[in-house]
């Protein structure tokens, strides 16, 4: 349980939204799903209990029928395409990247199309035509080619700065401390980020707030924060947890 003094800024900010009659939109993306695991069961149980829609970014090359069977009855889950194999093709001195670099464009696009078709076949009712690039990186030159493969949306990390042929539904608050402990980040830091994003939206930025998880590597700190966030926001009159599919539809209808 997170200390009440750490939680207080979030509750105060939500009270401000409620007093103004405003509703903040949040969405949840979780990356690197491959197969059924105890960690996945934990994520699905928590999200289902609180009524939180979740988009799983599934690695096509490594997944199959087992995960599809596990998700068959979870109506609150959608599935996005997480690259192809989540393999790093960058040079040793470059940031990790699968979708770009020195690789042939036709090779990358061929893999993405194969991944698209595979997940579309495995998840006829759960599939979302969204690309989630591994490590949240993709060469800009590839983006205009994605609609021809069937993609309707793209999700990376950070604020939306680009316009183009795809709906852009990004994440903004990453639970994991990738450059330090590689466990869950401190609750005070995460709550501070959520509050900062809420304040930014209150001032007029029209973009949903995306929370990013990686269930396979969550530790107690990451799970505790998610539970606290869900407890504070689920059913709150100033918050709507919305599915990625609804966000894509909304963005496409206004462009």
- Split at pLDDT 50, 70, 90, the class of 161 is confident
User: Global pTM?
Assistant: 0.96
How many helices and strands, by DSSP H and E, does the chain display? 7, 9
Backbone angles phi, psi at 79, to 5 degrees: -120, 130
Q: Which domains does the chain have, with CATH numbers?
A: 27-233+245-253 (3.20.20.370)
Opening angle at CA 217, ends 214 and 220, nearest 5: 105
Per-residue model confidence (pLDDT) at position 1: 61
Residue 111 has pLDDT above 70, yes or no: yes
Q: What is the pLDDT of residues 162-172, one digit of tens each?
A: 667 899 999 99
* Average pLDDT of every residue of the chain: 94
Q: What is the pLDDT of residues 31-64, one digit of tens each?
A: 999 999 999 999 999 999 999 999 999 999 999 9
Tokens 């852009």 identify what position? Answer: 168
Q: What is the pLDDT of residues 59-97, one digit of tens each?
A: 999 999 999 999 999 999 999 999 999 998 988 888 999
Residue 17 has pLDDT above 70, yes or no: yes
């Amino acid at each position: 349980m997170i200390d009440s003094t750490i939680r207080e800024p979030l509750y105060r900010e939500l009270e401000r939204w409620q007093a103004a009659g405003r509703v903040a939109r949040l969405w949840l993306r979780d990356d690197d799903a491959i197969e059924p695991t105890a960690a996945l069961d934990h994520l699905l149980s928590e999200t289902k209990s609180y009524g939180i829609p979740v988009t799983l970014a599934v690695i096509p090359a490594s997944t199959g029928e087992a995960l599809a069977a596990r998700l068959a009855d979870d109506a609150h889950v959608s599935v996005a395409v997480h690259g192809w194999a989540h393999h790093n093709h960058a040079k040793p001195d470059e940031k990790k990247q699968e979708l770009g670099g020195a690789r042939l464009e036709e090779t990358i696009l061929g893999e993405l199309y194969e991944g698209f078709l595979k997940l579309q076949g495995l998840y006829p009712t759960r599939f979302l035509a969204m690309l989630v690039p591994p490590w949240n990186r993709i060469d800009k030159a590839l983006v205009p080619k994605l609609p021809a493969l069937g993609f309707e949306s793209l999700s990376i990390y950070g604020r939306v700065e680009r316009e183009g042929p795809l709906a852009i539904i990004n994440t903004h608050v990453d639970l994991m401390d990738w450059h330090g402990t590689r466990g869950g980040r401190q609750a005070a830091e995460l709550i501070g980020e959520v509050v900062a994003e809420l304040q930014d939206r209150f001032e007029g930025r029209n973009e949903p707030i995306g929370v990013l998880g990686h269930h396979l590597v969550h530790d107690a700190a990451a799970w505790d924060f998610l539970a606290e966030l869900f407890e504070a926001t689920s059913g709150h009159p100033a918050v709507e947890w919305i599915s990625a599919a609804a966000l894509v539809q909304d963005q496409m209808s206004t462009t």
